[in-house]
Amino acid sequence: MAVARLRIVLMGYKLSGKSSAGNTILGREEFDLKRSAQCVRRHGEVADRHITVIEAPGWWINEPVAFSPELLKQEIVLSVSLCPPGPHAVLLIIPVETRFKDYLRKALQGHQDLLGERVWSHTIVLFTHGDSLLDTSIEQHIESEGQDLQRLLDKCGNRYHVLNNQNRSDHTQIEELLEKIEETVAQNNGCHFEIDRKILQRINNKRRAKERMQQERVHIRSQTSECVSFHCFVSITILYRCIRTNINGIFSTNTYYSANLDFLRWTPIQIQLSRRVISTDFREHYKNQLC
Ligand SMILES: Nc1nc2c(ncn2[C@@H]2O[C@H](COP(=O)(O)OP(=O)(O)OP(=O)(O)O)[C@@H](O)[C@H]2O)c(=O)[nH]1
Ligand SMILES: [Mg+2]
């Protein structure tokens, strides 16, 4: 049964053909082939359906999920929340030419597992670079790749499709893909994929904590520069007065320099404390000299 509004997420390693597959699905150049560290969302009307496609950023082909940057993992998780209430299918992109080894399967599985175990029943493996198959059928190709690819396909309920992104005029490849997505929805009792709220909440909490830390850092930096500017102003003024009146004053020039350079090694806390001291005692003490 045709679904009027389909939501699709494209997952895969870098340069696997995610953007190209998005463009072939939507039938025009919606996705830029330039790499993005963030998810990209595009829409279009295809074969009487309104389609939303999200491209999640990719990981390095051989990189186990444990070595992937935290920000990348967060983006992958957030990709499924960009098409609420959730995608009908997650397309796991694999170029046909990829020699499928165990470490590659582990990397793919690890990144896909970030979305939780339930995602596998909504996952379809989408082979790109279909043109490089030439006379070989996709079934022959799967067989030739051996156990590792078969294990991944088993995890996806043996759902797969092959795309040739170089041949956009072949609409049947997209119609067949949309039908396979609709079959997947039917296999899931008409339901889309919904990520576990706890996974999303964990990511949102991490993001909020990071934002708070960044704000605090900016605040401390602005206080530090204010304090340093004030300190420099006081120091230059005292130096000027020392030279002008040709007296040693309270600080000799040497003492003055060492005191002045010392603040460069201060920690933000020392600077904050000194700012208070400067703005009360010091300012009062030298008020007359500065005038
Ligand atoms: N021959 C051929 N080339 C393809 C096919 N699909 C993608 N490509 C090429 O593969 C390269 C990478 O494709 P992209 O769509 O940018 O891959 P991506 O996964 O979005 O890449 P990143 O977003 O940078 O990780 C591009 O040069 C595409 O033209 C295909 O079916 N056949
Ligand atoms: Mg891309």
Per-residue confidence (pLDDT) for residue 67, from 0 to 100: 96
Pocket test for ligand 1, best of 13, 14, 19 (most atoms within 8 A of CB): 19
CA distance 111 to 76: 8
CA distance 65 to 106: 8
- 8-state DSSP, 229: H
Per-residue confidence (pLDDT) for residue 221, from 0 to 100: 84
What's the distance, CA 136 to chain centroid? Answer: 36
- Choosing from 195, 217, 235, the residue where a domain stops is 195
CA distance 130 to 257: 71
What CATH number did the domain enclosing 65 receive? 3.40.50.300
Cα–Cα–Cα angle for 185, 122, 2, rounded to 5 degrees: 25
| 89 and 104 belong to one structural domain | yes
Q: Containing domain of residue 159, as a range?
A: 5-195
Sheet holding 89-95, edge to edge: 40-46, 49-55, 5-12, 89-95, 123-128, 160-162
| 74 and 169 belong to one structural domain | yes
| 219 and 132 belong to one structural domain | no
| 178 and 63 belong to one structural domain | yes
- Choosing from 163, 195, 227, the residue where a domain stops is 195
| 68 and 21 belong to one structural domain | yes
Burial class (CB in 10 A: 0-12, 13-18, 19+), 146: exposed
Say yes or no: CB of residue 29 within 6 Å of ligand 1. no
| 86 and 165 belong to one structural domain | yes
Per-residue confidence (pLDDT) for residue 291, from 0 to 100: 43
118 neighbors 84 (Cβ within 8 angstroms): no
Q: CB 240: neighbour CB atoms within 10 A?
A: 11
Burial class (CB in 10 A: 0-12, 13-18, 19+), 177: buried
At 248-278, the pLDDT tens digits run: 555 454 555 454 555 555 566 665 665 565 5
95 beta partners: 128
Say yes or no: CB of residue 164 within 6 Å of ligand 1. yes
Averaged pLDDT for residues 214-224: 85
Atom 8 (ligand 1): residue with closest C-alpha? 17
Total structural domains in the chain?
A: 2
9 beta partners: 54, 90
Per-residue confidence (pLDDT) for residue 18, from 0 to 100: 98
Say yes or no: CB of residue 123 within 6 Å of ligand 1. no
Reference 123, options 165, 94, 82, 83; nearest CA is 94
Report the atom number in ligand 1 closest to the C-alpha of 36: 23
| 228 and 114 belong to one structural domain | no
- 8-state DSSP, 198: H
| 238 and 125 belong to one structural domain | no
Nearest ligand by distance to the CA of 33: 1
Report the atom number in ligand 1 closest to the C-alpha of 23: 15
Torsion-angle region of 261 (φ positive above 0: left; ψ -120 to 50: alpha; else: beta): alpha
Looking at the predicted structure, is the pLDDT value of residue 162 above 90? yes
| 79 and 118 belong to one structural domain | yes
| 137 and 61 belong to one structural domain | yes
Token digits of residue 291: 């005038």
Per-residue confidence (pLDDT) for residue 220, from 0 to 100: 86
| 283 and 230 belong to one structural domain | yes
Residues near ion ligand 2 (Cβ under 5 Å): 18-19
- Choosing from 139, 160, 195, the residue where a domain stops is 195
At 87-133, the pLDDT tens digits run: 999 999 999 999 999 999 999 999 999 999 999 999 999 999 999 99
Per-residue confidence (pLDDT) for residue 225, from 0 to 100: 72
| 102 and 221 belong to one structural domain | no
At 268, the amino acid letter reads: P
Report the atom number in ligand 1 closest to the C-alpha of 163: 31
- pTM of the predicted model as reported, rounded to 2 decimal places: 0.77
Atom 13 (ligand 1): residue with closest C-alpha? 17
